[in-house]
C-alpha cells in the first residue's frame, strides 16, 4: 500500500532540509505515496481528484503544500493586486 519514489533529476531544496530539521548536503528527492484506494484516477497533468485516496510523505508532501487548493480555484478580480508603473 506504499510506493517509494526517488526523483533523480533534482536534489532536495535546502529549505526542505531546514523544514525537516536535517543538516546535511542535499541528496535526490525521496517521497512515499500511501494509497487508500484500490484504484486512483489521474489526469494528464498528474493530478488526482479525491484528496483522500492518496497520502504523500517526504519531499512531495513538502512541495505539494502549494497545490492543495481545489482544481477549479480562481482568485476573484477584487483580490488581485495590480501594480501601476
Q: What is the pLDDT along the chain (85 residues), one digit of tens a residue?
A: 788 989 999 999 999 999 899 999 999 999 998 888 887 777 776 677 776 778 889 998 888 655 555 556 666 666 556 555 4
Strand order in the sheet with 54-58: 2-11, 28-35, 54-58
Q: What are phi and psi of 77, to 5 degrees?
A: -55, -30
Amino acid at each position: 500500500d506504499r510506493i517509494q519514489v526517488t526523483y533523480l533529476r533534482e536534489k532536495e531544496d535546502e529549505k526542505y532540509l531546514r523544514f525537516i530539521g536535517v543538516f546535511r548536503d542535499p541528496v535526490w528527492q525521496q517521497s512515499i505515496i500511501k494509497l487508500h484506494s484500490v484504484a486512483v484516477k489521474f489526469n494528464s497533468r498528474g493530478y488526482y481528484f479525491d484528496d483522500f485516496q492518496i497520502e504523500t510523505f517526504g519531499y512531495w508532501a513538502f512541495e505539494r503544500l502549494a497545490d492543495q487548493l481545489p482544481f477549479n480555484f480562481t482568485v476573484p478580480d477584487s483580490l488581485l493586486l495590480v501594480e501601476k508603473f
